[in-house]
Amino acid sequence: MAEILRRDQVRVKIFFPLLLRYNRAANVFNSREGITMRKILLTATAVAVVAAIICQKETSMGQSAQPATKPAAFDPSTLKLFTDGGKYLDKYETGLYPGGKNDVPAEHLKAGERIAATIKPLDADGKVDEANGKILALVLGHSNCLMYFTALQEQIKTGAGQLNPRFELVNAAMGAQILSQIRQLKGSVWKKADDLLARPGYSAKQVQILFLHSTNHKAGNPDNAPPGAFPDSTQQMQKDLATVLEHCVKTYPNLKIAYLTCDGLRHFSGFEPHVWQEAFAFKWLIESQIKGEAGTAFEDKNGKTRSLPWLQWGPYIWDKTWDKSYFRDDGVHPITKALDAFVKKYWSFLIADPVAKTWLWKDGKPPAAAPK
């Protein structure tokens, strides 16, 4: 397009002088031939002038037709693990819990154990039924979440003899359902959850545990572009997580505990350090509950109304040592190697978690070790 416009600029230089010269010729334009030639010259000149103006505007806009330069790929090896506990950008404290620590603070843990002790098998009406009731744990998230927790479900089947026979994992995660989609509080994740809980013998009133594994990043990012500036986008993600959890409390009235996990390494889809940064959203939300901030209460107490379930981190799975052999060709979705690593981390976490002891394991006795 630009080349065409430049050619028209040349036409201006050619036709306009000819038009002037032709006008000077005595009585030429009064003839039929002269009138025809004048129309041709005037039309060509007008087109060329307009084209020249457009071309000049294009130039003045700083060569807008030129493609943008693709940003350089980020090197994830420059990041420390979020569990390191140091300061990111010399300002933002890492570590899963306050003070750069990775252990649940004692008072918060004590509250979690107390709440966990109230988890009992429930019938479809939400009434305690030790013999035939269910302890349902609902999974919400995107495609990676679906794959990770499907693998965990297989481990649950394998280790069924070690588990509370009334426990069941209900996986409602769906592909393409990143947090910004789930936060709409409608769509495929919520429909899948509704459908799974509408089966005979199941109901929303039996959901007492939630596993929320999420990200705000879709599958591909060919331009290596962030979803928003840090920390603004991360603070918004914190709010979106709270919105989803508040909705869960209303939708599943007996929900008591939620485990939160952020996504693993996304370097090969061009989303680092942004996925690494998302851990702050989970950290800040959990810390706000630990500090007793408004809108984060997990029980009706001291004049506060329950807004969220009791929150804690699940295992932190982001690992910069994961290379392309952990992913499908798209660099996003985990293959067996990564799924096995996830299952081992989560199973080990649940074995060591005192909050899960009473409702997950048979007779309240977790196994000695995770699968190899």
Residue 18 has pLDDT above 50, yes or no: no
Give the pLDDT score at 224: 65
| CA-based nearest residue to 112, from 366, 359, 371, 369 | 359
Give the pLDDT score at 191: 98
Question: Where is 310: in which H helix or E strand?
Answer: strand 310-313
Which tens digit of pLDDT belongs to each residue from 59-83? 333 333 333 344 456 788 899 999 9
Residue 30 has pLDDT above 70, yes or no: no
**Mean pLDDT of all residues in 156-171:** 97
Kind of pairing between the strands at 167-171 and 207-214 = unpaired
pLDDT band, residue 269 (cuts 50/70/90): confident
Quick one: what percent of the chain has pLDDT higher than 70? 78
Contact 96, 83 (CB under 8 A): yes
Cα separation, 47 vs 39, in Å, equals 12
Please give the DSSP secondary-structure letter assigned to residue 82.
Answer: G
For residue 29, count other CB atoms closer than 10 A to its CB: 15
Give the pLDDT score at 76: 85
360, with CB counted inside 10 A (0-12, 13-18, 19+), is buried
pLDDT band, residue 372 (cuts 50/70/90): low
pLDDT band, residue 42 (cuts 50/70/90): very low
Residue 279 has pLDDT above 90, yes or no: yes
Give the pLDDT score at 58: 32
| DSSP strands (E only) in 117-263 | 135-141, 167-171, 207-214, 257-262
Give the pLDDT score at 217: 85
Residue 315 or 61, more confident: 315
Give the pLDDT score at 227: 63
Residue 88 has pLDDT above 60, yes or no: yes
Phi, psi for residue 367 in degrees, rounded to 5: -65, 165
| CA-based nearest residue to 168, from 201, 145, 142 | 201
Which one is the CATH code of 76-364: 3.40.50.300, 3.40.50.1110, 3.40.50.720, 3.30.479.10?
3.40.50.1110
Secondary structure class of 40 (helix, strand, coil): helix
Residue 11 has pLDDT above 70, yes or no: no
**Mean pLDDT of all residues in 94-109:** 98
Residue 111 has pLDDT above 90, yes or no: yes
pLDDT band, residue 125 (cuts 50/70/90): very high
Residue 13 or 334, more confident: 334
**Mean pLDDT of all residues in 160-185:** 97
Cα separation, 82 vs 61, in Å, equals 43
Alpha carbon separation from 287 to 95, 146, 180, 297 (Å, rounded) = 11, 27, 22, 12
Residue 275 or 65, more confident: 275
Q: Spell out the domain ranges in the chain.
A: 2-60, 76-364
Residue 1 has pLDDT above 60, yes or no: no
What is the average pLDDT score of the chain?
84
